[in-house]
Structure 1
Amino acid sequence: MRSLNCCLSCNRFDTSKLKVIEDLLDKTAPTLMPCTSPVFQKDVLKKSIILNNRNKNKDTKNDSHNTKIDDDQRKEEISYFYPNLDTTIWSRTCEKEVIEPLTGIITGHIPNWLNGTLLRNGPGSLEVGSYKFEHLFDSSALLHRYEINNGKITYQNRFIQTDVYKKNHAAKRIVVTEFGTRRVPDPCQSIFSKISSIFRSADASDNTMISVYPFNDEYYTFTEYPIIHRIDPKSLETLDKVNLAKYVNIVSHTSHPHVMRDGTVYNLGMTTTSRGPAYSIVRFPPSKFSEDNGTKIKKLSMFDQAEIVATVLPRWIFSPSYMHTFGITTNFFIIVEQPLTLSLKSIFMQKLRNDPLCAAFRWFGNEDSQIHLVSRKNGKAVKTFVTEAFFFLHIINQYETQDGLSVILDICCYRDPKILDCMFVEAIENAHENPDYSKFFRGRPLRFILPLKDSELRVLPEIGSTKTNNVNIRKSGRKKKLEDNKKNVHDVLQKKSAAFKLPNAKAYVVPELLCDLGCETPQINYKFNVGRKYRYFYAICSDVDRENSGMLVKVDTELKTKLIWCERNVYPSEPIFVPDPEGKNEDDGIVLSSLIWGQERKTQVALLILNAVTFEEVARATFETPSPVPKCLHGWFSSLVP
């Protein structure tokens, strides 16, 4: 396997780190107990299974000392495996699309008010002819659709007809280099053709496999290249391809734009300026219409009106940060500049050598992460905070406090980007042999409280000497053994975020823990709470070493409590909150999640409906499909039924 660690060059700098994030991750790590009836059986488990049987058959007259040694050996062996995780859910291939809707078998009661369409996007096939993609992000994009209509639920799926999908299947090989996979060379292409292809943007992948979002009443699929595909929300047919770079100066963008109440869409993109690359916020206003004899005619589309409304230069001009999401509040855009960067100097050689995109990534683990607050009024950065290095994909939510003194920013954080390594196909297939696989996946939802006034910053105590405001401050490199610094989860959750003034006048932020579980693909009551004060979020658990690795989580950010839904051998997708139209509280509504099963139930898929308040199941619709269904990533719910 081509490890991302080989691609991430760690330049070392002599900077001080408080290591609070690392402590929060370590102190809330679970202890995986041996499972008597593993969900997932694999050859690599035979050793531990044999050891289990041997211990069971031991003479009961053995003294307690020998028994303790045997038990310790058994636990040490089993700790290398994840018996409740079926990693094949990611490597499945959809062999036959579901064009005509399937009707599900419904159990429970569907709320009368619940009608609409849930669209999902994600990996659909890792195979092209006899070749196979090497990274999950490279898989051909597959759409899923659930329609809820008057107590009935149907299911469909369909591949997005991207240019790269059509080229690959016409040639029966991988013809475009992806994030983690080299293209299979064309034997007829000369060296001069290879060099010229470096300068052709048409050779970039348009595999919009990550998410789906509405622009007015049209739906588009996204990846991080500025190509989006319009899809039919009823048939899932691919209708159009839009190159956003033709409308606005961007070379990439995040997969998660923000859709505001008035229909305006904002996204964070990378632009080219006279001073080099820059982070830019792009605004897409609602389409403008004119009337002709009572008929609405689109005058200007959202893309026609696209404009850059804010720009921030990266701290390293030739190594801009990788960004998957960004934040927005009433008065600010929030850009989190993590130390995972894309080396522009390496891109030319990466293309010339036919290396995958990940070869151009660089991880500066001894540098800070930076959080920029950018004014929505004038588009300029008004304040920058620093915190220790972390990697992230998803921001949960962000808002300004009522007193106007702070901005609250909640993020799903990891200590480094090794989680991207875990998504290489070879790593997934060999996860059960890797004792560090769960550590690489270890992330936690953290809250950063960002004071808007310098007077709110605390004086930084002498490093390594004290404990301030329940936040441990200690010197970089002085790693205590976890056993010597053990604290229970309750104590860890009581610690609060704090912001200190550094000697160089920068504001250093220490986060607090929101939940002791790994949380990913977080969702909120988006329509009413994006960029506003909120209390609850919903997520899938990303801890692969839990007794049940397929869990949905509801987190109360005020009380720091959680509710969990899980079912043995079931793997839920991103939970989508749908508000009750007559609801009064933030969590009045339901949560939707697409389910798949492990092992022999590869051709079953279901839509789960949970009461968002109690987090208990109220209904589900189960479908038998003609071919395996892979796990999906992100989606969007619309209360309209086309």
Structure 2
Amino acid sequence: MAVELVKEYESSIKENDHPYMNGPWAPVHKEYNITDMEVIGEIPADIDGVYLRNSENPVHQPLGRYHPFDADGMLHMMSFKDGKAEYRNRFIQTRGFRAEQEAGESLWAGWTAYPVKSKRIGECAQDGLKDASSTDVVVHAGKVMTTHFQCGEGYRLDPYTLDQLGIESWTPIEGISAHTKVDENTGEMMFFNYGKYPPYLHYGVVGADNKLKHYIPVEINRPSLPHDMAFSENYSILNDFPMAWIPEMIEQDIFMPRYEADKPSRFGILPRYGNPEDVKWFEAKPTYVLHWLNAYEEGDEIILDGYFQGNPMPEPLKDQPKRYAMMMALVDLNSLQARLHRWRFNLKTGETIEEDLDDEVLEFGMFNQKYAGKKYRYAYSAKPKKGMFLFEGLVKHDLETGEKQTCMFGEERYGSEAPFVPRIGSKSEDDGYLVSFITDMKENRSECVLIDAQNIEAGPVCRIILPHHISSGTHATWANGEDIRAAE
């Protein structure tokens, strides 16, 4: 194993018992380049590309109450080609990260830190919050783009070296939310943002040439809290759930959500390049959805799959310290009762039909991105650990037959959502692998695993061992090497 320590960052974090600053969530403060790693099994020679995972990784002692989604972004990359792999990790050099590095301390309080206030407002924060760019990651136009769930600037990096390429030039003044959507079939990227001022929601399209092609307001009646969007071949799907910031508090830059169970969920569907007057709204059962899987068109209907929450505002966890109990409930997917669900929107009649696809608690789904916006058969969901924002395994659904397979990571081993990696020259939708970073608490290290997508119950076909652990986090993506090179 060849390990190059690129840089070590000095931490000011004090010892504490916060569950999301210890164990699988303990932060890492070293940046590495690693090659010739120990491999258990054999790295497949029939894949070519990069696996990228964003993670929440705080450097400085938080101001006030800490929420893991406030933390600095650290990107982890494993590249594959010709049966070999290379790993790198880098902090995402946002303006907020650099300001706090210069100050040697946290300058912004997190979104649950009330009544503690930030030491610095404005400058490089979104509505008084630091834009950590730590939530999501995609590859578009041959470059990485990271984003933050509270809407901020898009940050670009090189997909192989993780060199910082700066702020995305087309970033609107209202920012970019996490969960931009890349259509591999056209090269376009759809995005949205939300905020506390009317019209409260915007939607846009960026071309394959990374130029902003379309940007419109989408009017809703209050500052809502959308987290994700979806698209089909011809339409984009936005949402307005009955989960919104409390108006009298958001004016004080206090981000406290309130769930309104007596109001319906609303879905705004518009053509990909549609105008505000083209948005058609549909109503459905009240819920909240963090993440969608896929959407596609079938006759007059748009079919949308995602993770319906049966309990969007759960009670605090009783077995946790009082100071953490509410926060832990709101990131516990078992408490939220997230399950795979399907909505059918009839564009001709305006009718909505919905159904559960499984009653098991699941979230963070992935699928073969060549089928994005199209009818698809296979979905790969993460299986959450009860009581913690951690994932213990993966579940594969055959949406045609209803059959499913499960792969568990093992005792005290935690992974993430697992992007689908197509084999070179793949012949079918599930002809490829699932890839994930796994943190092994017994060994106090992490590894990258590849799992045969056609037989996930067999477990990893290879395990690539890292000498250190990776802090757990949120989202990940796969980008084909051929697509990256074609965009250069």
Amino acid at match of 2:30: K
Does residue 384 (structure 1) correspond to residue 291 (structure 2)? The answer is no
Hey, what's the Cα distance between the residues in 2 that align with 1:112 and 1:200?
44
Does residue 107 (structure 1) correspond to residue 13 (structure 2)? The answer is no
Hey, what's the Cα distance between the residues in 2 that align with 1:124 and 1:197?
22
Whether contact under 8 Å (2:334, 2:361) holds in the other structure is: no
Residue 335 of structure 1: aligned partner: 238
CA 279–521 in structure 1, closer or farther in 2 if over 3 Å, else same: same
Hey, what's the Cα distance between the residues in 2 that align with 1:324 and 1:156?
28
Hey, what's the Cα distance between the residues in 2 that align with 1:108 and 1:366?
53
Amino acid at match of 1:560: G
Residue 613 of structure 1: aligned partner: 454
Residue 210 of structure 1: aligned partner: 135
Residue 188 of structure 2: aligned partner: 264
1:454-493 residue pairs with structure 2 within 5 A? 454=349
Relative contact order (C-alpha < 8 Å, sep 6+): which is higher? 1
> Following TM superposition, by how much is the alpha carbon of 1:145 offset from its aligned partner in structure 2, in angstroms?
1.0
Amino acid at match of 1:634: H
Whether contact under 8 Å (1:441, 1:543) holds in the other structure is: no
Residue 78 of structure 2: aligned partner: 146
Structure richer in helix, relative to its length: 1
Residue 214 of structure 2: aligned partner: 307
In angstroms, what is the RMSD of aligned CA positions?
A: 3.5
Q: Which sections of structure 2, spanning at least 5 residues, go unmatched?
A: 1-16
Amino acid at match of 1:92: A
> Following TM superposition, by how much is the alpha carbon of 1:332 offset from its aligned partner in structure 2, in angstroms?
1.7
1:588-607 residue pairs with structure 2 within 5 A? 588-598=431-441, 600-602=442-444, 604-607=445-448
> Following TM superposition, by how much is the alpha carbon of 1:515 offset from its aligned partner in structure 2, in angstroms?
2.1
Find the residue that maps to 2:99 and give its secondary structure.
helix
Whether contact under 8 Å (1:104, 1:621) holds in the other structure is: no
| TM-score normalised over the length of structure 2 | 0.83
What is the number of equivalent residue pairs in this alignment? 457
Whether contact under 8 Å (2:340, 2:358) holds in the other structure is: yes
1:356-505 residue pairs with structure 2 within 5 A? 358-359=255-256, 361-376=257-272, 378-379=274-275, 380-381=277-278, 383-401=280-298, 404-418=299-313, 439-454=334-349
> Following TM superposition, by how much is the alpha carbon of 1:277 offset from its aligned partner in structure 2, in angstroms?
1.2
Residue 156 of structure 1: aligned partner: 88
Residue 582 of structure 1: aligned partner: 425
> Following TM superposition, by how much is the alpha carbon of 1:259 offset from its aligned partner in structure 2, in angstroms?
3.3
Residue 630 of structure 1: aligned partner: 471
Structure 1 residues 159-191: Cα deviation after superposition (integer angstroms, max 9, x where no partner): 1122222222333332113322359668xx8xx
> Following TM superposition, by how much is the alpha carbon of 1:584 offset from its aligned partner in structure 2, in angstroms?
2.3
Q: Which sections of structure 1, spanning at least 5 residues, go unmatched?
A: 1-42, 44-84, 288-301, 455-505
Structure 1 residues 188-224: Cα deviation after superposition (integer angstroms, max 9, x where no partner): x8xxxx8x85998695422100112223122111113
Residue 536 of structure 1: aligned partner: 378
Hey, what's the Cα distance between the residues in 1 that align with 2:368 and 2:332?
32
Structure 1 residues 288-312: Cα deviation after superposition (integer angstroms, max 9, x where no partner): xxxxxxxxxxxxxx24x4421x543
Pick from 138, 147, 161 the counterpart of residue 235 of structure 1. 161
Amino acid at match of 2:291: H
Hey, what's the Cα distance between the residues in 2 that align with 1:174 and 1:374?
41
Hey, what's the Cα distance between the residues in 1 that align with 2:70 and 2:44?
38
Pick from 96, 99, 114 the counterpart of residue 167 of structure 1. 99
Whether contact under 8 Å (2:232, 2:295) holds in the other structure is: yes
> Following TM superposition, by how much is the alpha carbon of 1:249 offset from its aligned partner in structure 2, in angstroms?
5.4
1:112-127 residue pairs with structure 2 within 5 A? 112-125=45-58, 127=59
Structure richer in strand, relative to its length: 2
Residue 224 of structure 2: aligned partner: 321
Find the residue that maps to 1:212 and give its secondary structure.
strand
Pick from 242, 247, 250 the counterpart of residue 347 of structure 1. 250
> Following TM superposition, by how much is the alpha carbon of 1:370 offset from its aligned partner in structure 2, in angstroms?
1.1
Find the residue that maps to 1:164 and give its secondary structure.
helix
CA 278–610 in structure 1, closer or farther in 2 if over 3 Å, else same: same
Amino acid at match of 1:232: D
Structure 1 residues 351-400: Cα deviation after superposition (integer angstroms, max 9, x where no partner): xxxx4xx33x3321211101222133543445332122101110111111
Amino acid at match of 1:576: P
Whether contact under 8 Å (1:389, 1:415) holds in the other structure is: no
Whether contact under 8 Å (2:378, 2:397) holds in the other structure is: yes
Find the residue that maps to 2:29 and give its secondary structure.
coil
Whether contact under 8 Å (1:539, 1:574) holds in the other structure is: yes
1:15-94 residue pairs with structure 2 within 5 A? 88-94=22-28
Amino acid at match of 1:265: M
> Following TM superposition, by how much is the alpha carbon of 1:91 offset from its aligned partner in structure 2, in angstroms?
2.9
CA 572–428 in structure 1, closer or farther in 2 if over 3 Å, else same: farther
> Following TM superposition, by how much is the alpha carbon of 1:90 offset from its aligned partner in structure 2, in angstroms?
4.7
Find the residue that maps to 1:550 and give its secondary structure.
strand
Find the residue that maps to 1:134 and give its secondary structure.
coil
Residue 181 of structure 1: aligned partner: 113
